[in-house]
């Protein structure tokens, strides 16, 4: 028995969605990657999967002091970072959303392509702005140059790294993140 035209269209849409989410070759960032040996693809896929799972995992416990209702405002900043694929550095566009209380930046969250990191809260590391996720299974860390709410849209970023547990060795995902002034200005109009 033949499917109705509407049912056939729905099936094709499902297949297209499945293909879209399973076929990362359609994303510009990954085009070159799929021309490389499978070992590198597997390794990078595992690292990116760790980052995406960290984004969907709920923190086990969030201190009351880090409640989002205590944030006075937010600003978005655009960066161009470097990611290493098979020993070759490739540029990657990233946006960061910073939440602040008074003039202090207290929380950050990054968007890399369609992936969003978990919220990362600032710790007491004085020489740099360091933001750490509060997820017991994966630790995501974003480190930037020193900044305040007043000048965060004028300061370079730094590194994004992910560790597979509390105290685990961090793997650098993004490095050398430089401020994209034009894109940042568009984000904060």
pLDDT at 136: 78
- Nearest CA among 103, 102, 100 for reference residue 75: 100
Q: Are 126 and 145 in contact (CB under 8 A)?
A: no
* Segments of 31-145 assigned E as strands: 73-85, 88-101, 104-112, 115-116, 120-122, 129-133, 139-144
pLDDT at 98: 97
d(CA 154, CA 131): 18
Has this prediction a pTM greater than 0.75?
Answer: no
| Per-residue tens of pLDDT for the chain, all 189 residues | 554 554 444 444 444 433 333 343 334 433 333 333 444 444 444 445 444 444 444 333 333 344 445 899 999 999 999 999 898 999 999 999 999 999 999 999 999 999 999 999 999 888 899 999 988 788 899 999 999 999 999 999 999 999 987 677 889 999 999 999 999 999 988
d(CA 108, CA 100): 9
Helices (H), the chain: 5-22, 38-56, 181-187
Q: Are 124 and 144 in contact (CB under 8 A)?
A: no
| Strand partners of residue 174 | 160
pLDDT at 69: 55
**Token pair 């205590």 is at which residue?**
70
pLDDT at 188: 87
Instruction: Tell me which long-range contacts 18-22 makes (C-beta under 8 A, separation of at least 24).
Output: none
Token pair listed for 112: 């890399």
């Amino acid at each position: 028995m033949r499917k109705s035209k509407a049912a056939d269209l729905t099936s094709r849409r499902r297949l297209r969605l499945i293909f879209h989410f399973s076929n990362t070759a359609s994303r510009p960032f990954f085009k070159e990657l799929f021309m490389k040996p499978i070992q590198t693809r597997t390794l990078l896929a595992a690292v990116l999967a760790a980052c995406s799972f960290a984004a969907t995992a709920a923190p086990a416990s969030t201190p009351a002091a880090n409640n989002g209702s205590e944030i006075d405002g937010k600003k978005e900043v655009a960066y161009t970072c470097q990611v290493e694929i098979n020993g070759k550095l490739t540029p990657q566009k990233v946006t960061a959303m910073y939440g602040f209380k008074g003039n202090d930046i207290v929380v950050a969250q990054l968007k890399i392509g369609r992936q969003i990191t978990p919220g990362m809260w600032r710790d007491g590391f004085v020489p740099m702005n360091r933001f750490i996720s509060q997820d017991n299974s994966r630790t995501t860390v974003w480190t930037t140059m020193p900044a305040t709410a007043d000048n965060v849209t004028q300061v370079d970023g730094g590194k994004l790294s992910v560790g597979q547990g509390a105290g685990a060795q961090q793997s650098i995902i993004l490095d050398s993140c430089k401020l994209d002034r034009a894109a940042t200005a568009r984000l904060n109009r």
